[in-house]
Each structure stands twice: as structure tokens, then as C-alpha cells.
């Protein structure tokens, strides 16, 4: 869950940013120059099949026609990309939604700065218009055109569509800590029905929404924006997208910031278990703080004692949900767990979490339900953004599943419970979803080196719940030109979260090209 700020990574959870209102005037200031570079030649992509450069030329020869978005200060456009980069001459395309806010000045324009909020499944267009395009440091916005796009399969870009609103309501309430054979069968059935709905409604795009596909789209966008090099800030999953781009196109790397980094070399089972440990780290920090507060509903004591009380509360909700204000969605264990996890992404949400837990323990689950809804991007009318659908589609295509069936989960449960006594069982079972995916994975866990790329800044937060700090250490070590910037603190990602040290180092890099010294700590 993120910015604004709730992002997610590997097969468990997320929520991202705002709405796009469409208008339709063409042109405007800052029209794109001619494409700055041609499609990649054979052999450019490391460990990836190279598309036919000749067949890609028409895509790189497109012109972006900018129109009013209906959001003051922003313009929107659409670009076409081949549905299948292995066969770009097939004539089948996907449409990619793009938005920008042109550089405000003063100062020499530095080109475009493409931003991605993470996910996978987070809307870049929404993130740009709700946060990055207005909330990034003024000095950065003055000299860069702020740009983002909805990656293929997301929101406005040939979206993956699975369950409708009422079906998603039921899906989010399925018990993810099954106690018996019947509950296990119910959970497996839910995963199968979700996957089948994705195949039925989005079978055309489902095999073509990998991170590598999105990275190739990003190079197409770079060229159509008129930039020789890609300047980019990616958060959470956006770090995997950025690192994948750098590995595919190292000679086209400009200034890349990868904040809240993922480790591309870790297989999905390890990613999910690491993330479980990350949420435990974040919960421990919350529990220590909660025990000091007069309104802590989980009582006093050390984090283990506080966690035991929360786990006991979840157990009670499993047996008897409480009212949430929505008769069709009482607060049971599944929704309550999601609500708590949502609030752990940002320490600023801890007071809200204490209040929501207190109310729920007194029979009013509306506060935790509201947090869960933000996490799932559920609107007031009962409809959902396609976040959860796109998240599964990308994750299940990028790597082999963590688990092939319930027996494999049983084997791994002790290690997940060790990683987090409170959240371990639920997050282990949640990682079973890709085991029933209708499309075989096209990617695999592997190191990304981006040999020959310009310096890349990798940012890690020591108590990040969703992207554990060791992932940032690993990615910075893999990238030939990686430099690690560390924030000793809480919450998910570091840039723009109140650290003058972090913000100053990243701003200097973006504006002057001076990467911080490797190992710098804030």
C-alpha cells in the first residue's frame, strides 16, 4: 500500500492512488520531440528474448497527442504497445495510459522524470495526479516533466478484470487461516474461482503483463517523450520494474532511484516469508509504541504479549465476527487482519489503528473495515479498482508459485509462524493463490546486474514492513552500479517521508547527477 500511501509487493497486499477524469483537447505546451532513440536491437536484453527491432519501429515512431485530463495542471495521452513482444508484428496491441505535468521552472529542463508507485497493480496515472505531480519537491518539479503511466493490465491500460464487486466482497472475507478440511477446501475453491474469472474476462492480456513487458513499455515511453535516457523513481514493486529496465537497457539508464527495494533473485516462497518477517518487524515497532499510549487497546507489556492479545482477538473474530455497519460484510478475521496490515505501512497510521482496534474490540468493526477497504481499493459504491486482479496477474507471471497446493503450505507453516506469530499463518495461505493460476510463469528469480549502467540509487528502510531492508542491500549489491542509501526508521519507502537527509541526497542526485556515497545512512 502506498502513497498516499499504501503499496504492496509480492503476492500479499496493497493500495495506491486516485482518480482520473478525462477531457479531450489536443496539443498543449511541451509537445514531444521526435523519438530520441530507436527500438532495441537483438541482444540488448539480458536473459530475455529480444523482440524484432524492425517490427517495433512503428511503435517507436508514434506521436503522443496530449489532451486535457480534467485534472488541473495535467495532460493525458495514450500510446500503443505490442501485446506480445515476442511477436510484435502480429498486429495485436495494448493501449497504455500516460499522464504528465510539464516542468514548472525556473531552471534548465532536465527532461522527463517517470514515477511508479508500486504494486504490482498500482495506478501510475492516479499516483502522479494525486501525489507525485504536486507533492514531489518543488525544485524537482521545476526542472522535470513529471510523468507516469498505468502499466499494462492496470486500471486504464488494457486492465486485467476478474471478479465483480459483490464477488470481491465475498473473496476478501474468505478465511485465510483454515482450521479444518472444509475451510481448506473453501480457500482453495476461492483461489480457483478468482483465477478462472481472470482467465474468462482477461484471457487475451493475461500472458502479457509481466514486469519485463512493462519495462519494455517504459522504454517505448522514454523514446516517445523525447528522452535519450530514462530518469525514474520507483517505489516498492516499482524498484523491480526499474531494475528490470536497467538490466534490459543499461545504456539508456539516466538517474534511477529505487526506493523500498525488492530482491529480484529471491524466489516467491522466500519473498513471501521475508515479507511476513517484515510485517512482524513493523508490528513489533507498533506494539512497543502502543504499549506506551494511554489508549492502547492491546494493553501493556512487551511486543510478544501485545501480539498474543491481537492474535487472540483475531481468533475470536474467526469464531464470531462483529458488526461493521455493512450487514453483508461483518468484520471477521480476514478483513480485520487486512485492516491491521494496511495501517502498518506507515507509522502515521498508528493512532488510527489503535482507535480502530479499540472500537472493534467493543463491537464496532467499521474502523478496521475502512482500513481494509483502502487496502483493497474498494470504493463506496462497492466496486473495486483492478489492483488485486493486476497484482495477482503480474506476480503469478513473473515467478513460479510459492506453493503448488495445501500440503506445501503445511510444510512451510512453521517457518512462517516463526517469521510472524501473528500474521504468519494467514500470509502463508495467501501465498497459495498463484498455485492455481491459468497461465504458466514466463519469468524466474534471478540477479539483475545492469552492466554498464550509470549509477543507480537503491534506498532501503531498516524497519520497512513490505520490502525488508535486506532486499535493498541485496539489490544494491547485484547492480554493477548500485549505491545503497539507508534510512534508519519505520514505514514503507523513505523518499518524501520527512527525512531531510534522505530527501536531500535523492534531490541532489536527481538535479545534479551526484549519487550519494555507497552505504550512506540517514
- Residue 258 and residue 239 in contact, taking contact as beta carbons nearer than 8 Å: yes
* DSSP bridge pairs for 78: 97
**Burial readout 217-246 (b: 16 or more C-beta within 10 A, e: otherwise):** bbbbbbbbbbbebbbbbbbbbbbbbbbbbb
Q: Let me know if 499 is a catalytic residue.
A: no
Q: Indicate the SS3 state at residue 488.
A: strand
**Burial readout 126-159 (b: 16 or more C-beta within 10 A, e: otherwise):** bbbbbbbbbebeeebbbbbbbbbbbbbbbbbbbb
Strands of the 456-463 sheet, one edge to the other: 67-68, 75-82, 93-101, 145-149, 112-116, 230-235, 253-259, 456-463, 482-490, 520-521
Instruction: State the cell numbers at 219.
Output: 522504454
Rounded to whole angstroms, the Cα distance separating 66 from 28 reads 7
CA 331 from chain center: how many Å?
26
- Residue 451 and residue 458 in contact, taking contact as beta carbons nearer than 8 Å: no
Q: Let me know if 464 is a catalytic residue.
A: yes
Nearest alpha carbon to residue 121 among 49, 26, 16, 195: 16
Rounded to whole angstroms, the Cα distance separating 394 from 120 reads 6
Rounded to whole angstroms, the Cα distance separating 247 from 259 reads 17
DSSP state of 451: T
Residues found in the chain: 522
CB atoms within 10 A of CB 500: 9
Instruction: State the cell numbers at 61.
Output: 515512431
User: Catalytic pick from 10, 236, 324, 374?
Assistant: 236
DSSP state of 50: P
- Residue 83 Cα distances to 52, 94, 428, 489, angstroms: 13, 5, 33, 41
Query: Which conformational region is residue 100 in: left (phi greater than 0), alpha (psi within -120 to 50 degrees), or beta?
Result: beta
User: Catalytic pick from 99, 150, 492, 503?
Assistant: 492
Q: Let me know if 449 is a catalytic residue.
A: no
Rounded to 10 degrees, the C-alpha dihedral 87/262/119/515 comes to: -90
Q: Transcribe 96-116 into DSSP letters.
A: EEEEEE----SS----EEEEE
User: Catalytic pick from 169, 464, 490, 503?
Assistant: 464
Rounded to whole angstroms, the Cα distance separating 56 from 223 reads 12
Instruction: Return the active site residues.
Output: 236, 464, 492
Amino acid at each position: 500500500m502506498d502513497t498516499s500511501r499504501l503499496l504492496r509487493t509480492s503476492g500479499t497486499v496493497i493500495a495506491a492512488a486516485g482518480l482520473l477524469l478525462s477531457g479531450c483537447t489536443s496539443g498543449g505546451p511541451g509537445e514531444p520531440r521526435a523519438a530520441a532513440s530507436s527500438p532495441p536491437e537483438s541482444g540488448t536484453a539480458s536473459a530475455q528474448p529480444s523482440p524484432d527491432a524492425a517490427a517495433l519501429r512503428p511503435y517507436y515512431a508514434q506521436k503522443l497527442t496530449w489532451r486535457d485530463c480534467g485534472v488541473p495542471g495535467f495532460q493525458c495521452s495514450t500510446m500503443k504497445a505490442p501485446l506480445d513482444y515476442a511477436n510484435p508484428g502480429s498486429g495485436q496491441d495494448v493501449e497504455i495510459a500516460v499522464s504528465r505535468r510539464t516542468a514548472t521552472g525556473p531552471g534548465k529542463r532536465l527532461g522527463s522524470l517517470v514515477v511508479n508507485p508500486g504494486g504490482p497493480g498500482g495506478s501510475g496515472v492516479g499516483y502522479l495526479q494525486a501525489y507525485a505531480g504536486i507533492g514531489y519537491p518543488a525544485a524537482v518539479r521545476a526542472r522535470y516533466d513529471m510523468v507516469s503511466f498505468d502499466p499494462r493490465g492496470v486500471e486504464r491500460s488494457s486492465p486485467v478484470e476478474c471478479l465483480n464487486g459483490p464477488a470481491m466482497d465475498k473473496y476478501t472475507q474468505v478465511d485465510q487461516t483454515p482450521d479444518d478440511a472444509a475451510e481448506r477446501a473453501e480457500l482453495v475453491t476461492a483461489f480457483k474461482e478468482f483465477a478462472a474469472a481472470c482467465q474468462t474476462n482477461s484471457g487475451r492480456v493475461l500472458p502479457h503483463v509481466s514486469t519485463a513487458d512493462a519495462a519494455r513499455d517504459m522504454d517505448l515511453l522514454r523514446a516517445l517523450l523525447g528522452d535519450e535516457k530514462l530518469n525514474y523513481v520507483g517505489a516498492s514493486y516499482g524498484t523491480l520494474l526499474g531494475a528490470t529496465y536497467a538490466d534490459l537497457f543499461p545504456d539508456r539508464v539516466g538517474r534511477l532511484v529505487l526506493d523500498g527495494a525488492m530482491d529480484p533473485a529471491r524466489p516467491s516462497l522466500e519473498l513471501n516469508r521475508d515479507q511476513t518477517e517484515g510485517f512482524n518487524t513493523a508490528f513489533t515497532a507498533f506494539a512497543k509504541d502502543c504499549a506506551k499510549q494511554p489508549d492502547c487497546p492491546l494493553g501493556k507489556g512487551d511486543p510478544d504479549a501485545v501480539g498474543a492479545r491481537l492474535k487472540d482477538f483475531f481468533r475470536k473474530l474467526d469464531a464470531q465476527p462483529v458488526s461493521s455497519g455493512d450487514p453483508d460484510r461483518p468484520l471477521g478475521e480476514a478483513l480485520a487482519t487486512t485492516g491491521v496490515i494496511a495501517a502498518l505501512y506507515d507509522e502515521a497510521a498508528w493512532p488510527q489503528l489503535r482507535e480502530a482496534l479499540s472500537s472493534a474490540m467493543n463491537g464496532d468493526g467499521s474502523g478496521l473495515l475502512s482500513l481494509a477497504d483502502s487496502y483493497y481499493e474498494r470504493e463506496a459504491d462497492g466496486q473495486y479498482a483492478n489492483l488485486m486482479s493486476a497484482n495477482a496477474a503480474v506476480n503469478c507471471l513473473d515467478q513460479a508459485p510459492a506453493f503448488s497446493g495445501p500440503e506445501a503450505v503445511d510444510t512451510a507453516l512453521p517457518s512462517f509462524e516463526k517469521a510472524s506469530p501473528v500474521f504468519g499463518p494467514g500470509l502463508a495461505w495467501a501465498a497459495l493463490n498463484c498455485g492455481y493460476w491459468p497461465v504458466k510463469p514466463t519469468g524466474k528469480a534471478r540477479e539483475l546486474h545492469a552492466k554498464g549502467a550509470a549509477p543507480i540509487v537503491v534506498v532501503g528502510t531498516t524497519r520497512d514492513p513490505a520490502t525488508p531492508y535486506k532486499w535493498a542491500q541485496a539489490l544494491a549489491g547485484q547492480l554493477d552500479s548500485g549505491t545503497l542509501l539507508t534510512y534508519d526508521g519505520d514505514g514503507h519507502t523513505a523518499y518524501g517521508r520527512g527525512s531531510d537527509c534522505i530527501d536531500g541526497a535523492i534531490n541532489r542526485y536527481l538535479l545534479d547527477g551526484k549519487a550519494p556515497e555507497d552505504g550512506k545512512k540517514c
